[in-house]
Structure 1
Amino acid sequence: MSITVGKLFGNGAVLYQMKLLAGQKGLNNLVEWVHIIENDEVSNFLHGNEVVLTSGILNNSETWLLEYTKKLYIAGTSAFVVNIGPYTKFIPKEVIEYCNEVNMPLYTIPWETRMVDITRDICYRIMQREQVEMSISATIKNIIFKIGDLETHILQLERYGYLRDSHFCFIVMSFKNEKNNDEVINMNKVKMYSERIARSIHELYISFSYNDCLVLLLVNYGNYDLENFVNTFFKSFPEPSFKVHMGVSENNIGIERQAENFNNAFTAMTMARKQHKDAIYYDKLDIYKLFLNSNDKEVLKRFYKDTLGKLEKYDLENNTDLMDFLYMYLKNNGSQSLVAEKQYIHRNTVNNQLKKIEKITGCNILDLDEKLRFYLAFFIKDII
């Protein structure tokens, strides 16, 4: 939970006589740290998501400040502050236009304002923000894992603006290295990317890591906002070597219900991983909810073995695809004519295939109860 440029410099005009010249659309940029950099080799000093201050000691040409600004943007700078004085007397129009183009906030401060005072203030506020983030994350984890007194935890969250009757939605992400090398995902980079998207939509946001997954809690986001977050996240995910599987819980009211909501998000993420999908919403899982919330998974495995187990074994031993054929038959409401049409085969061939399935499984596939058993078994197959 970083601090945005807008919040960081909200009182800058009063405290430091700051003026915002450009990049107003970037005021939601997140800030992790601050530097005073006079050397124009900025890439040696920056990691990204920082505020940079300069007086422009090396500003000895008409194009220097513009080139310096471009280097800052490439390095991922969140905002740029120029100390107007003997080295940089004014900001060229080209610099203002560029900052507006790339949405990088550009501020000026008078020579009388000491840059060290600003950096000290920013560092203090960032560290204070980190302490708040740690406290909020610890509190929400205590709630979902049922540690300590619930009412005490709720009051703690309410002090930070997370009210008990708010809407809460968990998003859980797992990451798989698709290149199968030793590269480890940069979880901090993903956290910042996620937070930047979330905070461009709404303010209340919590994140923490759990079991190699990234967990987000979005508070008072509408259903449209949640879909907007998910869609935006996948558009330009910054770690292309990794596949993301995302589970989205229901958007429920009341903090008391969030332990269940948290588990549901993990359930949805597990299904996304099994079905090789980017994201699955728990409230769209339908019948899967019944099986995923079963406490005895062995019962489900036995049910599957008793219904589809023999057919699956036959396919493996004989290199056939009767399982796929049966699933298509069931998905088409047991219509032999529809299956024949979609498979470009004669109805007699469909009938022969069904008889073969009946012989292997020992079940009458034309019986409604047996159809239901087989159909449920296909659902179970996706989760065991």
Structure 2
Amino acid sequence: MALILKEILKKSREQYQLTLIAGSAGINNYVSWIYITEDINNTDFLRGNELIITTGMLLKNEETLFHFIKTMHSHNCSGIILNIGKYIHKPDISQSILLYCDNKKIPLFLMPWEIHISDVMQDYCLQISRQLQKNDIVTLAFQSAISSPDDKNHYIPALIQNGFELNGTYRIVIIYGLFNITRIRSFLTSYVKSFFVFPYETNCIIVFQTIDNILLQKIISDFFILLQKRIQSTTTIGIGNEVTSLTSLHTSYRQADFALHYALFYQKSYSTFNQLGIFQIFSQFTNIQLLESMYKQQLGKLEEYDKKNHSEYMETLRYYITNNGSIQKTAQCSATHRNTINYRIQKIKSILEIDLSSIENLFQLFLAFYIKDYLNLKKDL
């Protein structure tokens, strides 16, 4: 429910005689607030995604106007309204400025001097304030939906009242390591309309409505490209499965949370729950003692041997299994001579008293390694 520039202008564009002259590709930019400024030295007060209004009182020519627009863009403004007629005139707006705004997707509007800026400010600030109040209500409702799903009266009426269908299609994405909701909203508005972003615990949560996998993958890919360009931070993402009701939203959240911890454990930038293979089953397993017993039965002796003798047979065996029993590839992965690997494999057979040529035995060992990973991952959940 991000308030976008297009929605703000829908009812007031004619009223305030606004003319869009460049940057139409950014008309869906998210708007956080309205900001009047004449002096670029005051840009430290900008937080991002403000709609800028200026009379150009301190802008003496085309060059200073161009510099002003570039400065506003560097602070991630959502658009610029030029109040023309007294300090700024149409000839001051060069072709270079128009091309720049088009390339950077900065909506540039002209507004006649006769229009009172105070009226525009009052109107737009009221729209934004109302939207912020709605966002607070929806945030609390979504937080209740994922933390207390059985307490339906605390979230279903509020969500339905704000346009979310009870039996709609939803998917949750969790972002860890980037707690900038404004920036995330701004990024998403150029891809989808139906989404909601809110804070929960130490993460940012995105609720998507009816989003296909191809578009979601593109959003995630482009998001990480943007991070590499603009932000120096470690960000990890977990993606849940689709659910078909608000009352099942907590399921998608738990899946996304598990996928997030999986990605953190394996040092991946993101992971999707429906691509986690056997870990999807593990995540539903409540009998942890049984898993621990299965692991110890298969690999307990070898792990204990490594601890006592400071050996690396566990690592060697895992390389051996993941490389389909190839001594050569196991040697390459572990940077060890193949004769040493041959010796270790024979030793492992002896310790475990097992035939490593049996596919069934290899599967049991392979499963045991994943159980160990899951048990370690589970400690962080």
Cα pair 1:2 1:126 within 8 Å, conserved: no
Cα pair 1:162 1:204 within 8 Å, conserved: no
Cα pair 1:208 1:214 within 8 Å, conserved: yes
Q: Are 1:263 and 2:263 matched, yes or no?
A: no
Deviations 1:252-290 (CA, angstroms, capped at 9, x unpaired): 333232221111110111110111101111001111112
Q: 2: CA distance between counterparts of 1:346 and 1:58?
A: 74
Q: 1: CA distance between counterparts of 2:104 and 2:327?
A: 59
Q: Are 1:77 and 2:77 matched, yes or no?
A: yes
Cα pair 1:42 1:75 within 8 Å, conserved: no
The correspondence of residues 313-324 of structure 1 with structure 2, limited to 5 A, is: 313-316=304-307, 318-324=309-315
Counterpart residue type for residue 66 of structure 1: F
Q: CA deviation at 1:149?
A: 4.9
Question: Which deviates further from its counterpart, 131-140 or 158-167?
Answer: 158-167
Q: Who is 1:158 aligned against?
A: 160
Q: Who is 2:241 aligned against?
A: 250
- Measured on the aligned residues, the alpha-carbon RMSD in Å equals 2.7
Residue 197 (structure 2) aligned to one of 207, 210, 216? 207
Counterpart residue type for residue 328 of structure 1: Y
Q: 2: CA distance between counterparts of 1:3 and 1:162?
A: 16
3-state DSSP of counterpart to 2:10: coil
Q: CA deviation at 1:88?
A: 1.4
3-state DSSP of counterpart to 2:40: coil
Q: 1: CA distance between counterparts of 2:150 and 2:281?
A: 30
Q: 2: CA distance between counterparts of 1:62 and 1:337?
A: 69
User: TM-score if structure 1 supplies the norm length?
Assistant: 0.87
Q: Who is 1:180 aligned against?
A: none
Cα pair 1:54 1:82 within 8 Å, conserved: yes
Question: Which deviates further from its counterpart, 247-256 or 19-28?
Answer: 247-256
Cα pair 2:30 2:186 within 8 Å, conserved: yes
Question: Which deviates further from its counterpart, 338-347 or 293-302?
Answer: 338-347
Unaligned residue ranges in structure 2 (runs of 5+): 376-381
Q: Who is 2:365 aligned against?
A: 374
Deviations 1:48-89 (CA, angstroms, capped at 9, x unpaired): 211111111123234221121112112222111111122112
Q: Who is 2:379 aligned against?
A: none
Counterpart residue type for residue 202 of structure 1: V
Cα pair 2:349 2:356 within 8 Å, conserved: yes
Counterpart residue type for residue 4 of structure 2: T
Q: Who is 1:227 aligned against?
A: 217
Q: 1: CA distance between counterparts of 2:317 and 2:111?
A: 73
Deviations 1:116-161 (CA, angstroms, capped at 9, x unpaired): 1111111111111111111112222222223565377434323322
User: TM-score if structure 2 supplies the norm length?
Assistant: 0.88
Residue 146 (structure 1) aligned to one of 145, 148, 169? 148
Counterpart residue type for residue 210 of structure 1: Y
Q: Are 1:171 and 2:162 matched, yes or no?
A: no
Residue 123 (structure 2) aligned to one of 101, 121, 124? 121
3-state DSSP of counterpart to 2:13: helix
Q: 1:313 to 1:235 in 2, by over 3 A?
A: farther
Q: Are 1:303 and 2:305 matched, yes or no?
A: no
Q: Who is 1:66 aligned against?
A: 66
Q: Who is 1:277 aligned against?
A: 268
Counterpart residue type for residue 93 of structure 2: P
Cα pair 2:316 2:334 within 8 Å, conserved: no
Q: 1:111 to 1:376 in 2, by over 3 A?
A: same
Q: Who is 2:103 aligned against?
A: 101
Q: 1: CA distance between counterparts of 2:237 and 2:347?
A: 40
Q: 1:63 to 1:354 in 2, by over 3 A?
A: closer
Q: CA deviation at 1:335?
A: 5.9
Q: 1:316 to 1:101 in 2, by over 3 A?
A: same
Identity of aligned residues (%): 25
Question: Which deviates further from its counterpart, 300-309 or 369-378?
Answer: 300-309
Deviations 1:80-125 (CA, angstroms, capped at 9, x unpaired): 1111122112242232222112111111111111011111111111
Question: Which deviates further from its counterpart, 8-17 or 362-371?
Answer: 362-371
Q: 1:16 to 1:319 in 2, by over 3 A?
A: same
Q: Who is 1:179 aligned against?
A: none
